[in-house]
């Protein structure tokens, strides 16, 4: 293989890696962000500035998101890993 082909393949693998990482982390980060925004609005309206009031609900939301989306996240990572390993013989 030529050097250009190797760099194109490396770029494709890196792009797939980052895209898969974004997709897998998006449910947890998105739900946590929505809960954090809602808690911030409640804190502004009620003028209660307690740190644990914002931390605990976000922690619970992240745990719930991992439980709810965990099987999909694991399946997505497994499909990516199997695809990556299956491409190894095609490199030689």
Report if residue 2 sits inside a domain: no
| Total of domains in the chain | 1
Contacting residues for 36 by C-beta, under 8 A, at least 6 apart: 54, 58
Q: CA 58, CA 38: separation in Å to the nearest integer?
A: 10
Report if residue 7 sits inside a domain: no
Per-residue pLDDT tens digits of the chain, which is 92 residues long = 456 667 788 899 899 999 999 999 999 999 999 999 999 999 889 888 887 788 899 999 999 999 999 999 999 999 999 999 998 887 77
User: Alpha carbon of 23 to those of 4, 20, 38, 60, 62: distances in Å?
Assistant: 28, 5, 23, 21, 15
Report if residue 6 sits inside a domain: no
Query: By residue range, what is the domain housing residue 73?
Result: 13-91
Check: pTM over 0.75? Answer yes or no: yes
């Amino acid at each position: 293989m030529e050097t250009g082909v190797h760099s194109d393949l490396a770029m494709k693998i890196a792009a797939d890696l980052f895209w898969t990482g974004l997709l897998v982390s998006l449910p947890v980060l998105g739900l946590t962000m929505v809960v954090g925004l809602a808690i911030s609005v409640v804190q502004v309206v009620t003028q209660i500035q307690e740190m644990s009031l914002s931390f605990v609900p976000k922690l619970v939301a992240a745990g719930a998101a991992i439980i709810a989306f965990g099987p999909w996240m694991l399946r997505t990572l497994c499909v990516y890993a199997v695809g990556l390993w299956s491409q190894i013989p095609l490199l030689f």
